């Protein structure tokens, strides 16, 4: 298999959340091609599990699809922050819960064909409610408690459809 190396790049768009580059790649003499590559900070997802088996999920408006979604908490790893710290922070910001334990379940590549980043996934347990979700005009959230055993049915029904969230539940089910 050819291993393509980046020889040059043209920045098409640059933004802290998402950048787009046209890369010139080479795999050896006479073997050249272009590729479009999106760069983004790493992302995290966290499955917050209550002792009664319910998952703390959030409903929010998503601009990509221009519709609301039902997801687990998640977001962007800030510069200098660990993925685990980002997971704990996003959990608290989006739901008001603090976790005694935030344990890694694995990491996925959101779309290795076009995106360079990774999404680390965590399980949060020992949850205590400490404050309310931080809703603003930019991120308006409603917390929803979903029994873990109902998740497969709700995925099948198309009520939970975010691929990274479904991958998080896969990692949880494959855990241990």
Please give the residue ranges that form the binding site for its own copies (CB under 8 A).
1-6, 12-13, 15, 17-18, 20, 23, 25, 27, 31, 33, 35-38, 59-69, 106-116, 119, 137-138, 140, 142, 152-153, 155-156, 158, 161-164, 166-167, 169-171, 173-175
Residue 89: which H helix or E strand, with range? helix 83-95
- Exposed, middle or buried: residue 98 (CB in 10 Å: 0-12, 13-18, 19+)? middle
| Least distance (Å) between residue 54 CB and its own copies | 18
Tokens of 34: 């272009």
CB of residue 20 to its own copies, shortest distance in Å: 6
Q: How far is the CB of 145 from its own copies (least distance, A)?
A: 17
Rounded Cα distance, 35 and 23, in Å: 5
Is the CB of 91 or the CB of 105 nearer to its own copies? 105
Cα dist. 41→16, 28, 100, 103 in Å?
8, 30, 26, 21
Output 82 or 111, the one with its CB closest to its own copies.
111
Q: Is 102 exposed, middle or buried (0-12, 13-18, 19+ CB in 10 A)?
A: buried
CB nearer to its own copies: pick between 80 and 136: 136
Nearer to its own copies, 92 or 162 (CB): 162
Q: How far is the CB of 51 from its own copies (least distance, A)?
A: 24
Shortest Å distance, C-beta 128 to its own copies: 26
Answer for the pair 160, 40: CB distance below 8 angstroms, yes or no: no
| Residue (16 or 79) nearer to its own copies, CB | 16
- Alpha-carbon gap, residue 61 to 32, rounded angstroms: 41
């Amino acid at each position: 298999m050819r291993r393509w190396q980046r020889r040059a790049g043209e920045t098409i768009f640059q933004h802290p959340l998402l950048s787009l580059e046209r890369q010139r790649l080479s795999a050896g003499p006479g073997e050249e091609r272009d590729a479009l590559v999106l760069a983004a900070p790493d992302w995290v997802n966290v499955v917050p599990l209550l002792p009664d088996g319910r998952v703390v999920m959030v409903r929010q408006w998503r601009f990509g699809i221009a519709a609301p979604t039902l997801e687990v908490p998640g977001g962007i790893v800030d510069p200098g922050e660990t993925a685990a710290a980002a997971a704990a922070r996003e959990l608290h910001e989006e739901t008001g819960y603090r976790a005694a334990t935030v344990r890694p379940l694995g990491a996925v590549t959101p779309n290795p064909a076009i995106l360079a980043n990774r999404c680390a996934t965590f399980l949060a347990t020992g949850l205590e409610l400490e404050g309310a979700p931080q809703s603003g005009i930019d991120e308006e959230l409603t917390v929803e408690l979903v029994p873990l055993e109902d998740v497969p049915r709700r995925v099948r029904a198309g009520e939970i459809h975010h691929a990274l969230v479904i991958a998080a539940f896969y990692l949880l089910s494959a855990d241990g």
